[in-house]
A and B are shown apart, each in its own frame.
Chain A
Amino acid sequence: MTATLTGPQTAAGMGEFERTTSRWGRLTMIAGLVFSLAGPLYLVFFADLGVTATQLFTAFAAVAGTFFVIWLVEPLTYFPILGSASMYQAFMIGNISNKLLPAALIAQSSIGAKPGTPRGSLAAVMAICGAATVHLVSLFVFVGLLGTWLISVIPPDVTEVVRIYVLPSVMGAVIIQAIVSLKQVRATIVAFVVAVLVLFVLVPLVPSLAMVATAIVVLTTLVIGWFVRKREATPGQDATPEVP
């Protein structure tokens, strides 16, 4: 680390790095996209389940109505922190805020590199590669092999209970996590009020809205939340939504 490097040298080296990672990052992400869609498409077309296009479209539309904002905002939020190369890694490996970002930051500080500098971004990429390796191995061994075996030996009445109640047990914790990490008191109150009104007043009155209840709550909370937001500027506030 004694060599002093000239600007052009650094620019050329990083330029090539950016080109390689952009090209291959994009290609591998498209490959990941294809593999991730191949499974459900196989079920839809070849498993003879009688799934109709309308059912698929309705299901997707309901999910989209709820989450389209997050789809757009998340990449915008993480780009300044991750840089383009790591974007293609992070959105395929997942668990960005709770795993990849801490890994990258710790790696940068352990070699004394600042975020945003060329050294910092190379350190982040290497750290995310290290995190990905650990993640792939632990998922494969503990979930793929051990978990599948576990499910086969657990008494059926236990798996049945898990299947029926895993959703409320996830949602209870996730609600608290979202409230605590997002720190948006007003939006939280608005969301509770709107959800209660939609679920327990509107839907019983107009049962056909049950399908899109979540999307209605999201959009209403969004609009009301925007108008009642805290107005005074709070500089330095952490703008990274801790998205699950």
Chain B
Amino acid sequence: MIPTTALAAASTAAAAEPSPVLALANTPVLWICALGVFLVVAVQSVIYMKAARKAAPSVGMTPQDLRTSFRTGAIAAVGPSLAVVLVAIALLALFGTPATLVRIGLIGSVSFETAAASIAAGTTGAELGGPTYTPQVFAIVFFAMSMGGAMWMLATLILTPLLQRGGHKLEKVNPALMTVVPAAALLGAFISLGLAEIPKSPVHLITLLTSAIVMGLCLLLARVSGLRWLREWGLGIAILVGLTAAYLAHSAGLGPVG
């Protein structure tokens, strides 16, 4: 089986600069695929804007209204986009640039994608980011994340026409079902994945707690002082402070043995 050879390759190459995982994760083919997704989103926006411009007069919208809407949307997105940028940069070392751009930046989101990656790595017996994180594991993880994202798109592609056709019956589903069930699923997933980090090493525990506390403080401060931007930036700030704590604790020799 491959794991042993890949593992050996990983440990020998660990001293050299780019880790084998990152070398693989940044190959040109993956860049091309990532830029393809960028291009698709851009093309879609152009088509939509043209369609909106054409329909505008019939609903009493001026070109100025369209421009205002576009500009307002653009300005409103600056803060959240930069917050996503910060989080994405933190994940470059784990997934490489192309995968991070597509999975974290566009289609998915940091919480779903890292959760999926952690679960997928677990099925191979490897630890995401640990010494067992080989190029082979990366390929499996990237595949699982992408398939997960594909399911989201597939659900959208199938359900949207159904809902559009007046299938509003679906909206009459017990509202408790629509709130309790997804909330329970998300809480179960993230809490389980978070707690699973604890036994890995004291540094993992310190990192988890630091990040959780910082996030809690950000959200609290956002509520008390009305600083809305803290809600958006909380995740990025918490990850950075968490990683700083990890660096200090790791340097103090609390990291995993081996």
Contacts and interface: CB of A to CB of B under 8 A. Distances in A.
A166 B243 contact: yes
A63 B120 contact: yes
Given A35-B36, A79-B159, A229-B180, A84 B164 contact: yes
Given A33-B153, A66-B115, 18 more contacts: A22-B161, A51-B136, A67-B115, A75-B160, A108-B69, A132-B41, A136-B42, A139-B38, A166-B239, A166-B243, A168-B211, A191-B187, A210-B122, A214-B122, A218-B185, A222-B181, A225-B184, A243-B112
Q: Describe B's contact surface by its main secondary structure.
A: helix
A189 B93 CA distance: 34
Given A63-B147, A130-B73, A169-B243, A49 B2 contact: yes
B44 to A, nearest CB: 4
A71 B152 contact: yes
Nearest to A140: B38
Contact of A167 (B26, B58, B128, B235): B128
Nearest to B111: A244
- The range of chain B's interface size is 35 or more
29 contacts: A21-B51, A33-B154, A36-B37, A42-B29, A43-B24, A49-B139, A62-B123, A63-B145, A70-B112, A92-B40, A92-B107, A94-B106, A94-B109, A103-B73, A107-B70, A127-B70, A127-B76, A130-B70, A132-B45, A133-B74, A142-B82, A142-B85, A161-B246, A164-B246, A169-B90, A171-B194, A184-B180, A187-B184, A191-B192
Contacts of A69: 181-182, 185
Contacts of A44: 139, 143
Closest 7 CB pairs of A and B: A13-B58, A127-B73, A169-B242, A172-B211, A244-B111, A130-B73, A221-B188
A241 B186 contact: yes
A98 B72 contact: no
A95 B77 CA distance: 10
Contacts of A1: 60, 62, 65
A74 B111 CA distance: 15
A159 B18 CA distance: 10
Contacts of B43: 28
